[in-house]
Amino acid sequence: MKRLMNKEEREIKQGKIRGDPKRIEEYRKRISDEAYLDHAIKKIATDLSHYLTK
């Protein structure tokens, strides 16, 4: 928990995206789909709620 309080650990660092260009393009297509994005947000909210109530 102490590590989560470090600001440096939580910030998104700017840099070049590394990885498979095909996978990156696939994720970009998924994100542009509103139904997928809505599902992903609900899943994150559910997981976060579960984590916080533990």
Do the domain assignments include residue 30? Answer: yes
pLDDT tens-place string over residues 16-25: 667 888 988 9
Give me the pLDDT at residue 5, please: 59
Give me the pLDDT at residue 39, please: 94
Do the domain assignments include residue 5? Answer: no
Residue 46, number of CB atoms within 10 A of its CB: 10
Mean pLDDT of 7-28: 75
Is residue 12 very low, low, confident or very high in pLDDT (cuts 50, 70, 90)? low
Domain that holds residue 35: 17-54
Give me the pLDDT at residue 8, please: 63
Half-sphere exposure of 25 (CA within 13 A, CB side): 3
Do the domain assignments include residue 3? Answer: no
* Sign of the alpha-carbon dihedral angle for 14, 16, 20, 25: positive
Do the domain assignments include residue 39? Answer: yes
Number of domains in the chain: 1
